[in-house]
Chain A
Amino acid sequence: MCGIAGMVASSNVGQKLFRSIAALEYRGYDSCGMAVQSNGTIDVRKNVGPVEKVNQNEHFTDMQGMAGIAHTRWATHGPVTRENAHPHMDSQGRVAIVHNGIISNYRELRARIRESGIVFTSDTDTEVIAHLVGEYLDINGDDVETAFVSALRELEGTFSLAIISTKSSGYIYCAKHESPLIIGLGDDENYIGSDFNAFIEFTRQTVIMDDGEYAVVTRQGYTVKELLSREPVKKEVTQIEWDIEMSRRGGYPHYMLKEIYDQPVTVNAALTIPRVDLAAMAAMIHGSRHCFLGGVGTTYYIASMGQYFFSRLAGCYLPAISTDEFTQLAQIGPEDSFIAISQSGETYDTLTAARHAKKCGAKTGAIVNVMGSSLIRVVDLPILQGAGPEICVISTKAALSQATVLLLIALELGKINGHLNEEQLLRCREEVSSLSSMISDVLNERSGFLHTAAGRYQNMKNWLYLGRGIYYPTALECALKMKEVTYLHAEGMSAGFLKHGTISLIDENMHTIVLMPPPEEEELHTLTRTSAEEVRARGGFVLGFRFEDDDKVEDLFSAEILLPNVSPILAPFLHLLAGQLLAYFFAVLLKRDVDRPRALAKSVTVA
């Protein structure tokens, strides 16, 4: 997802345009840029980094001119570099363009344009469009609109885009096809943007563009036309009536819920990570004496879940270490490797661990959500999880997608080292491909039960989460979600550990949640059942998260949440999801600051 903005005004647009892309930063923030046109030239400034930081060096706010366009980027593929940042220009500097979307036929177009001797300066599909418009300007003389439309007609894929040109001063040309674009109507100035946030600070009058339309926007007005016929389209002016935060959240009451509901999509994004990248990571592990998994907080628990994937699917033990303790603990050398997990790629402890591993000569890999982050530059083999920006301080979608990536790497390793035969591998892959729809099922058909449970037990202040096997780190992560967002006392524990001390805490003030494995996992199932019985025997309240067709746990729990039946390798994902939702509903009922819990920060960049 990227954000685009533009404006035409009677005075310098730099200041306001900068505020526009700053307001769009939630759509992505790994690089950004602006282009402003004045006196027959176009000034382009861009670089890698968040909007505020890039402004410090590039001084967007000083840019002079009456028409400008701007872009903030969230890369999913291709490196984050200054060259790849938008805006892009044609070879003669007549046209600058910003674009959101994917041009599917850009390879053919690029090859064709190259033949005419044009040198490309970036790897992007967007630059192709700039040259294409340039080509048509050569043909059509200075008729920018005709050149723009002719170029657009050659594009396949999705786009919302905007151009400015030295050939028509004070004009923005923009078009929409399956990516969002709207026009804002101001007082003697007009705006465009990916969404309302781009200009809501300046105006609440907006025109919503539809697919297959383009618009010519000037200081005094705008014309919307059909791309195919070039016939003008009559558009209604809509008054924006909601608050800014709500539209950024896509209408969700909180980012946390939005990101929980993003998970069917982010899991699919993880499933489309190129097999070669996963195989390279698996080969790195295979070639190492020891491979350590590292994360801190949620990512440590995800790494701990990873241990069980590798153990089960690849027959390997990869110790997970919380990265704040890494240098004290890990004996790592040139024959070893280290895989770091971080949403932001800026987490101090994890960066330090990765640098330490590297210094000791180990091979390094990472699973990261933010492209262009420090961790990506530190390690040899980064894998981008492509989960999109995560705004809520509490990690949900990034964590679940990291677990998915670890599962996929474990499958690759199982294939390389022969732990899984062809048939097993095929079956596992098939099972994993249904994860997204299982998550949708739980979100749609089960969330109400978790909401009801939260309503019923909202006054309980102490929660113990129990699990065995992979459900143990899952229990740790579910408990962490609960304490982070509700400020209630919650702790995760391996169910077998319980009777070695903690069981003495069981009384009417301590509620227990048991993550029940599916009945196919007989040994784990029996052991977990025993632990639940131990708690109940001491008069403890037990809320069971269990699978629907599990007939061995009748009357075992004081209350239960039923999850749809899934294959054992997917089971912990559904428990994790249930834990996220329960924590969320608790937080809402307790009126907590869900997206910004007290004392927490999104990315912990200090020791």
Chain B
Amino acid sequence: MRALVLAAGRGTGLYPFTDTRPKAMLPVAGESFLACTLRQLRVAGVTDVVMVVGHCCERIIDHFSNGSAHGLTIQYVRQKEPTEIGDAVRLARDRFQPGEAFLLVYADVLALGNIYRHVIQMFGSFNLPVAAICHTPQAQNFGTVYLDSNMRITRLVEKPSTREMGNYVLAGVFLMPYELFDLLENKGMVDSLNEVISSPGLHSAIWEESWLDAQRPWDLLRANQMVMSTWTEARVSGSVQLRGSVQFRGPVWVEEDVVIESGASIFGPCFIGKGTFIGNGVLIRPNTSVGAKCTIGFGVELKNCILLDQVQVGRLSYVGDSVVGERVYIGSGTLTVNHNLDRSDIVLPLKDGMVNSNINKLGSFIGDGANIGASNTLAAGAVVSPGAIVPHHHTYPKEGE
């Protein structure tokens, strides 16, 4: 079985992190969505992958190359401009053979357990095209389906906006016949899938394990927690240096060549990437994921947050309920405030305007390469654009900013 993996999505809703990388390369719990997808595809028996890439595609190609390091053969198809999903699929047409059925996978979807194996099995069982479906609290953001008593999909409605829906939604994994390419020549993805539904029919594969399609920056924190909630034991590499008394509690995962200074307390579930330095007296609380080659200074507290690679956090800072981009520098004594005083839901300034997160505890979202001066206070829901410089002794954003 071969897979067509769609990794060209821009993920504009995930600003400030997707200006500088494809959505699928965002990491949670120490692994990018795409790496997780490819690993599970391999386990499900897929050996050949055709990947459609676009926005910042060199990051994907540099990282995965021809796939041999991941036990896969990967061919890339470049999509110049992001358009309808059907267009991305159609670009890969000449890489498949007439008569060939293939897995169609949205690379930026996170599912715990192997959703690909499940879909392949359903295809084997029913000899019909298959679409994985699941429940999500935000059904209106996805393609919603109607089912009959035999788990066949009878109708597909794209992102219904008129009212809230409680339907099963498309989970971003399909097993499709080659004929899909023909349909896409004249129609969009939804209309083509509706054609498949009328003939030869589309069987659903109900996915009951956790599932998430990150659409907003705070969904990364959700995804991080989702993965870590399945961890049951600690994994500490033999090359980790503990310089004095360090306390571990719960499922703490620490990768190669991490150095942890005396007096650090690390409470799982949490993840610390390769070559990271953890200073004296650092407190790392649950659901924290620290990338590779980070430097965490003396007395820093981290809690429910994601730090991408090469982040530096200066002494006596607090980072909680936040996501911090690559190579971000956070000066000492910096504080991410994570709630409004009236405990109201936190509203964030994103590319498409002010967006209510419906969450009342949320810290900062700091784009790649930003420089935050020392002794700063970042307001709850602060969004710092990539490369921005926030001077010392500052409150961000300032009144009216």
Contacts and interface: CB of A to CB of B under 8 A. Distances in A.
Contacts of A241: 120-121, 124-125
B182 interface: no
A209 to B, nearest CB: 11
Contacts of B208: 253, 588
Nearest to A449: B166
Contacts of B169: 448
A264 B149 contact: yes
Interface string B113-143: 0000000111011110000000111010000
Contacts of B203: 251
Given A252-B151, A448-B166, A242 B146 contact: no
Given A241-B124, A447-B167, 18 more contacts: A238-B124, A241-B121, A242-B124, A246-B125, A247-B125, A251-B122, A251-B126, A252-B206, A257-B206, A261-B149, A444-B147, A444-B167, A445-B166, A448-B135, A448-B168, A451-B166, A585-B135, A588-B208
26 contacts: A239-B124, A240-B124, A241-B120, A241-B121, A241-B124, A242-B122, A242-B124, A246-B121, A246-B125, A247-B125, A251-B125, A251-B203, A261-B149, A261-B151, A264-B149, A265-B149, A443-B147, A444-B147, A444-B167, A445-B165, A447-B166, A447-B168, A448-B136, A448-B137, A448-B166, A448-B168
Given A444-B167, A448-B136, A261 B147 contact: yes
Interface in A133-153: none
Nearest to B45: A241
Contacts of A443: 147
Interface string A474-505: 00000000000000000000000000000000
Nearest to B126: A251
Interface in A195-240: 196, 208, 238-240
B125 A240 contact: yes
A243 interface: yes
Contacts of A588: 208
Nearest to A195: B125
Interface size class of A (residues with CB under 8 A): 20 to 34
A452 B137 contact: yes
A444 B146 contact: yes
Contacts of B120: 241
B205 interface: yes
B135 A452 contact: yes
A243 B118 CA distance: 10
B44 to A, nearest CB: 11
B139 to A, nearest CB: 5
A240 B149 CA distance: 23
Interface string A409-445: 0000000000000000000000000000000000111
B358 interface: no
A265 B169 CA distance: 23
The winner among A196, A242, A452 for most chain B CB atoms within 10 A is: A242
B83 interface: no
B150 interface: yes
Contacts of A257: 206
Contacts, number: 73
Contacts of B127: 208, 238
A242 B166 contact: no
A136 to B, nearest CB: 33
A351 B120 CA distance: 46
Interface of A: 196, 208, 238-243, 246-247, 250-253, 257, 261-262, 264-265, 443-452, 455, 585, 588
B222 to A, nearest CB: 12
Nearest to A441: B146
Dominant SS at the A interface?
Answer: helix
B122 to A, nearest CB: 6
Contacts of B164: 449
Contacts of A246: 121, 125
B149 A242 contact: no
- 8 closest A-B pairs by beta carbon, nearest first, are A448-B166, A241-B124, A242-B121, A451-B135, A449-B166, A452-B137, A242-B125, A446-B166
Nearest to A266: B149
Contacts of A452: 135, 137, 166
A253 B125 CA distance: 13
A447 B121 CA distance: 25
Nearest to A585: B135
A446 B164 CA distance: 10
B150 A250 contact: yes
A455 B222 CA distance: 14
B151 A251 contact: yes
A444 B135 CA distance: 11
Contacts of A196: 125
Contacts of B168: 444, 447-448
A446 B206 CA distance: 16
Contacts of B124: 238-242
B130 to A, nearest CB: 9
Nearest to A446: B166
A253 B135 CA distance: 14
B143 to A, nearest CB: 13
Interface string B165-186: 1111100000000000000000
B206 A447 contact: no
Nearest to B130: A251
Interface in B188-233: 203-206, 208
Contacts of A243: 121
A361 to B, nearest CB: 43
A247 B124 CA distance: 10
A448 B165 contact: yes
A248 to B, nearest CB: 10
A449 B140 CA distance: 12
A448 B167 contact: yes
A240 to B, nearest CB: 6
Contacts of A250: 150-151
A244 to B, nearest CB: 10
A29 B135 CA distance: 35
A563 to B, nearest CB: 11
B119 to A, nearest CB: 11
B135 A447 contact: yes
A448 B135 CA distance: 6
A455 B210 CA distance: 10
The winner among B120, B136, B166 for most chain A CB atoms within 10 A is: B166
Contact of A262 (B121, B149, B204, B205): B149
A546 to B, nearest CB: 14
Nearest to B154: A444
A253 B113 CA distance: 14
A434 B121 CA distance: 36
A196 B136 CA distance: 33
Contacts of B146: 444
Contacts of B150: 250
A239 B1 CA distance: 13
A258 to B, nearest CB: 8
A493 B206 CA distance: 34
Contacts of A208: 127
B131 to A, nearest CB: 12
A251 B122 CA distance: 7
Contacts of A240: 124-125
A455 B212 CA distance: 14
Contacts of B136: 448
Contacts of A239: 124
A391 B126 CA distance: 21
Contacts of A264: 149
A173 to B, nearest CB: 24
Given A251-B151, A261-B149, A448 B139 contact: yes
A523 B125 CA distance: 52
Contacts of B137: 448, 452, 455
A448 B167 CA distance: 5
Nearest to B1: A241
Nearest to B147: A444
A246 B206 CA distance: 12
A250 to B, nearest CB: 6
A40 B359 CA distance: 78
A257 B127 CA distance: 22
